[in-house]
Structure 1
Amino acid sequence: MSHQPDTDHYLALFLNDTPLMDVRAPVEFDKGAFPCSENLPLLDDLQREVIGTRYKDAGQDAAIALGNELATAEIRDARLASWRTFVDAHPDGVLYCFRGGLRSKVTQQWLAEAGFTMPFVEGGYKAMRRFLIDSIDQIAATTKFQVVGGFTGTGKTPLLAELENSIDLEGIANHKGSSFGKQIGGQPTQINFENSLGVRMLKLREVAHPYMVVEDESRAVGRCGLPLSLLEAMAIAPVVVIEAGLEERIERLQREYVDEMLVAYQCHWGDDEGYLKFCAYLLDAIEGIRRRLGGERYQKLRGSLETALQSRQLESVAGVYRDAIAQVLDQYYDPMYRYQLDQKKERICFRGRYAEVVDYLRG
């Protein structure tokens, strides 16, 4: 393989979805990494801790000596095998450690001795992370946004999927932003959420749309907090409102949160285990709106839902769900969102049905 120079061209790495080999320890990777990255560590968590302590106590040379001592032939062969597999699969790949220092150079050296070349990212994870955070702030400050609003169930998320210039914050956060919003796989860490958001914003900036479209969100989607710079940009952006009748909204919510969710759970875990996890998801969601329903109404709805779930009567499950959602929409979500929209009335630039809003935003 021909030699590729080490790189600090962070923008190109993210725009091109360059495969990234993360040689940091698993504990570091789990806290935060980048899209298109795979963790193939030089040091495991314990080795990293021991060598780090030696570095602090006795300096770099002593740390390198200990690293060489710990790198038995068996460990070295195992590391090289995984790295070579990555290189074979991704000849355009790039490796990185935390700061683009010793671990990157050792990995690169071991690969070279085995006949493979792979560039590393100068500045490492720390520099790439800083680049993404700065990019979010810079793009948020210099880009026009359109905010899509509307009552719960009007189809804001599907609408975003139809637009090339949208940022699906709920998709990136893997959460639909309500008590019923938990998704299979759980949410990314805050760092991973921000990293994925930064990459999406960079890609949209390159396409040079007149504006970016986002859904009207609060400070957090589930447990993922929106960057302050983006929140500030959204707070002054024009608002486009999707309008839909109550029955249409309930039908959409039933389809998304019962019918499609059951299919997703069973596809992921199989019929029986998937159904049990689907039951737990719905019961947890009902628990999440307990206070909004009130004690007596909650007990009645939960009892009806448990009975329907036990008998696998999906039509009954959907019926109970419809009752719960209709009540919560009427008593909590709709009044809350009506108030929020009223606070933004000066910024509302268009109202219309789903298709009309799509046409407006594409125009």
Structure 2
Amino acid sequence: MPEKITFNPDLLDSHCIIDVRSPLEFAEDHLPGAHNVPILTDAERAEIGTIHKQIGPREARVRGLELTCGRFAAMVGEITALAAGRTVLVYCWRGGLRSLSMAILLEMTGYPVQQLRGGYKAFRARVLDYFEEFVPPAPLVVIHGMTGTGKTTFINGLDRQRWTTIDLEGLACHRGSAFGAVGLDQALSQKRFDTLLWDAFRQAPLGRTIVLEGESQRIGKISLPGNLYAVMAASCKVWCSASLETRVRRLAEEYARTEYREAMAAALERIRKKLGGQRHAELAGMLEAWDVAGLARGLIEQYYDKLYYRHRPWTPDIELDLEEFGLAEERLAEFLMQEGVNKSV
């Protein structure tokens, strides 16, 4: 029988990870780097589930063999090609028949294979536990500032040899604001976000400062997992600023795409009550005339600056001017060196 092993993060780097669940299960979430080689299609899984519930497990297994046995050889060939000599780690929902069947087939061909004990369910529990009492692998530096200052661009432009950066908005596929979904598709599940974030922290070098953007508890429909939000709130906080003209220009550059027009109109409609009828009408007129700079200025002055950080309940550890990103990076590095937060920067 194939060996069953308990998950540990090193397996992601040493093994070829094969997920034999259905495509929909895989799309909802999967182990980092996993390849989907489904034993059953989504429709077949639904059919067998119905048979198991209405008739019994034996009949469900027989039907499963009828559906799948003719393609086992091709699946084994696909997996061995993906593995390219590495040991295969195969898993299903909870380490049951699907992953066991594939592991047995691979073992019969003489290919090195192991089955993940507890399957995806065990991995998911590991991710939840990680964030429940989150302890970052290095000091966190949290970047705050008003809309349009360029926080995300600044973070993503930092020297990767000096800093670890985690783009929370990029992982969540949402900018975290009223217009945060424009041009993006936040189709990922909460489980998928949690896994992507867990993997980002997993890959962070020990001791190297991790820079991320200050967010609310939610980014669009996605929530920050566990106590991450509380840990960020207790970490080094940076307040970033830029001139109004720079903020207008940066927002206009980000949104000035005609294919965004419809989504921007929908976003503007969602904040109609907060703006008030007259202000909404003015901004809607700018959008209709495709005056993106005017719209950006109006949103900054009449919405964003009045809504966000209106009563900031904390004092930043350092303030940065983001007019020049390179100068801001050096200023941040100097501050952290002085404070002894991270010697590597």
Quick check: TM above 0.5?
yes
Q: Which residue of 1 aligns with 2:294?
A: 323
Distance 1:184 1:143, change over 3 A: same
Give runs of ≥4 in structure 1 deviating > 6 Å.
Answer: none
Distance 1:305 1:32, change over 3 A: same
Distance in 2, Cα, partners of 1:48 & 1:37 = 20
Q: Which residue of 1 aligns with 2:194?
A: 194
Structure 1 residue 82 displacement after superposition: 4.5
Q: Which residue of 2 aligns with 1:359?
A: 330
* Structure 2: runs of 5 or more not aligned: 334-344
Q: Which residue of 1 aligns with 2:338?
A: none
Name the SS for the 2:307 alignment partner. Answer: helix
Q: Given that residues 145 and 213 in structure 1 are in contact (C-alpha distance below 8 angstroms), is that contact kept between their aligned partners in structure 2?
A: yes
Q: Given that residues 80 and 111 in structure 1 are in contact (C-alpha distance below 8 angstroms), is that contact kept between their aligned partners in structure 2?
A: no
Code of the aligned partner of 2:172: A
Structure 1 residue 323 displacement after superposition: 1.6
Code of the aligned partner of 1:289: I
Q: Which moved more, 1:279-288 or 1:113-122?
A: 113-122
Code of the aligned partner of 2:241: E
Q: Given that residues 24 and 40 in structure 1 are in contact (C-alpha distance below 8 angstroms), is that contact kept between their aligned partners in structure 2?
A: yes
Structure 1 residue 19 displacement after superposition: 4.7
Distance in 2, Cα, partners of 1:147 & 1:172 = 16
Is residue 214 from structure 1 mapped to residue 212 from structure 2 by the alignment? yes
Distance 1:120 1:243, change over 3 A: same
Structure 1 residue 334 displacement after superposition: 1.3
Q: Given that residues 132 and 199 in structure 1 are in contact (C-alpha distance below 8 angstroms), is that contact kept between their aligned partners in structure 2?
A: no
Q: 1:39 aligns with which of 36, 40, 44?
A: 36
Q: Which residue of 2 aligns with 1:24?
A: 21
Structure 1 residue 196 displacement after superposition: 0.6
Q: 1:344 aligns with which of 295, 314, 329?
A: 314
Distance 1:278 1:87, change over 3 A: farther
Q: Given that residues 40 and 83 in structure 1 are in contact (C-alpha distance below 8 angstroms), is that contact kept between their aligned partners in structure 2?
A: no
Of Structure 1 and Structure 2, the greater helix share is in: 1
1:235-314 alignment, distance < 5 Å: 235-258=233-256, 262=257, 277-306=259-288, 308=289
Q: 1:234 aligns with which of 232, 235, 256?
A: 232
Distance in 1, Cα, partners of 2:279 & 2:17 = 52
Structure 1 residue 333 displacement after superposition: 1.4
Distance 1:288 1:11, change over 3 A: same
Name the SS for the 1:127 alignment partner. Answer: helix
Distance in 1, Cα, partners of 2:57 & 2:331 = 61
1:44-123 alignment, distance < 5 Å: 44-53=41-50, 55=52, 61=58, 63-68=60-65, 70-71=66-67, 75-78=68-71, 80-91=73-84, 92=86, 93-113=88-108, 116-123=111-118
Distance 1:56 1:79, change over 3 A: same
Distance 1:158 1:58, change over 3 A: same
What is the TM-score with the length of structure 2 in the denominator?
0.82
What is the TM-score with the length of structure 1 in the denominator?
0.78
* Structure 1: runs of 5 or more not aligned: 263-274, 309-316
